[in-house]
Amino acid sequence: MQIQWYPGHMHKAGKEIKEILPKTDIVIEVLDARIPFSSANPFLAQLRGDKPCLKILNKSDLADPELTAAWQSYLEREHGVRTLALTSREPDKMRKIAELCRKMLPEQVQNDRIVHALIMGIPNVGKSTLINILAGRTVAKTGNEPAVTKTQQRIAIGNNVVLLDTPGMLWPNIENKNSGYRLAATGAIKDTALHHEAIAAFVAGYLGQHYPACLHERFQLQEIPESADEVLEAIGRKRGCLRSGGRVELDKAAKILLNELRSGSLGRISLETPTMMEKELAEVAVIREQKAEKNRLRKQKRGSSEG
Ligand SMILES: Nc1nc2c(ncn2[C@@H]2O[C@H](COP(=O)(O)OP(=O)(O)OP(=O)(O)O)[C@@H](O)[C@H]2O)c(=O)[nH]1
């Protein structure tokens, strides 16, 4: 599965970020705490160079608290960034960002000098909601649909810190197919970009493996089937999504499961762990290597037949 989802303004954002970085003191990346790896921009580490970076694990009210803590220590240890787990339900904690930004700068940066923090994040991670809370007024449009923010803005957030806001930025295609499912499951990719039955089956299988208690309690599944499709079917059956003849209406079951996941009705669920990501990244690297080798051989063959 390759997701091609790259609206024009996101391409523009990549260029804008390169232009704006030299004028920036700090980079703030807003992530979805349920998928801190999949919601991160893979180009950011490369783009930001040695600029200090704060990663905000937002929507932490929806994420598994133990895994959020695990992600924070992993990111701080392995990626050398500062992290903060936040939710729009704790606006006071959000307002500490300006103070933290100042603390992250070298001591010689004077207190009265304006600090510029570039804030970025892929669509739907809650960046606009966060900015509005920090600004104390509505400066950014919010909504539960990806790609609402379109133009760049400067927002003063106290402590002489100014946020530079950019449009959401996703990548042209996602090599790791599970990241695609996770982004779709949390709502960062529009439902139309991927078939929602496939997304729901991915979630159902994941819950069966990692949150069986949720399936027992929320859907009264006594036995959890082995395959993801069967878990989704069992959920549909329990929720009465049946066609005449008793066949399960998978489309309806998928909508129920995804709505309940996104609204937090299933409880606090994270869809990836640092260990899982390390493993998937290694798999992607192998696939990339195999593709490169195939291309090399194809070119070699073409070269020898032409010669
Ligand atoms: N549960 C929960 N929902 C949140 C939180 N922050 C934002 N949301 C919801 O998530 C949805 C997306 O929020 P936005 O602030 O519009 O997201 P965005 O990242 O600015 O999106 P773009 O404009 O597409 O870049 C909205 O429905 C918000 O109400 C949070 O901390 N917890």
Give how many domains the chain has, as a whole number: 2
Q: What's the pTM value of the predicted model, to 2 decimals?
A: 0.88
In this structure, the answer to whether residues 256 and 160 fall within a common structural domain is: no
Q: Is residue 187 part of a domain?
A: no
On whether ipTM exceeds 0.90, the answer is yes
Residue 288 pLDDT class (50, 70, 90 cuts): confident
Report yes or no: 59 and 126 within 8 Å, Cβ to Cβ.
yes
Q: Is 144 in the pocket of ligand 1 (CB under 6 A)?
A: yes
Q: Any idea what the Cα angle at residue 53 is, between residues 57 and 86, rounded to 5°?
A: 20
Residues in the chain: 307
Number of C-beta neighbours around residue 225 at 10 A? 16
In this structure, the answer to whether residues 77 and 219 fall within a common structural domain is: no
Q: From the CA of 139, how far away is ligand 1's center (Å)?
A: 14
Residue 147 pLDDT class (50, 70, 90 cuts): very low
Nearest to 117 by CA among 84, 70, 79: 84
CATH number for 106: 3.40.50.300
Q: Is residue 42 part of a domain?
A: yes
Report yes or no: 165 and 155 within 8 Å, Cβ to Cβ.
yes
Q: Any idea what the Cα angle at residue 209 is, between residues 240 and 3, rounded to 5°?
A: 85
The pLDDT tens digits of the residues spanning 257-269 come to: 999 999 999 999 9
Phi-psi region of 160 (alpha: psi -120 to 50; beta: other; left: phi over 0): left
Q: Is residue 22 part of a domain?
A: yes
In this structure, the answer to whether residues 141 and 259 fall within a common structural domain is: no
CATH number for 247: 1.10.1580.10
Q: Is residue 186 part of a domain?
A: no
Sheet holding 82-85, edge to edge: 82-85, 53-58, 26-32, 115-120, 161-165, 153-156
What residues contact 13, with CB distance under 8 A and at least 6 apart?
A: 120, 166, 167, 168, 169
In this structure, the answer to whether residues 70 and 147 fall within a common structural domain is: yes
Q: Is residue 161 part of a domain?
A: yes
Q: Is the pLDDT reported for residue 4 higher than 90?
A: no
Q: From the CA of 39, how far away is ligand 1's center (Å)?
A: 13
Ligand 1 probe mutation, 124, 163, 265, 269, most atoms within 8 A of CB: 124
* Domain of residue 222, residue span: 195-263
In this structure, the answer to whether residues 14 and 112 fall within a common structural domain is: yes
Q: Is 122 in the pocket of ligand 1 (CB under 6 A)?
A: no
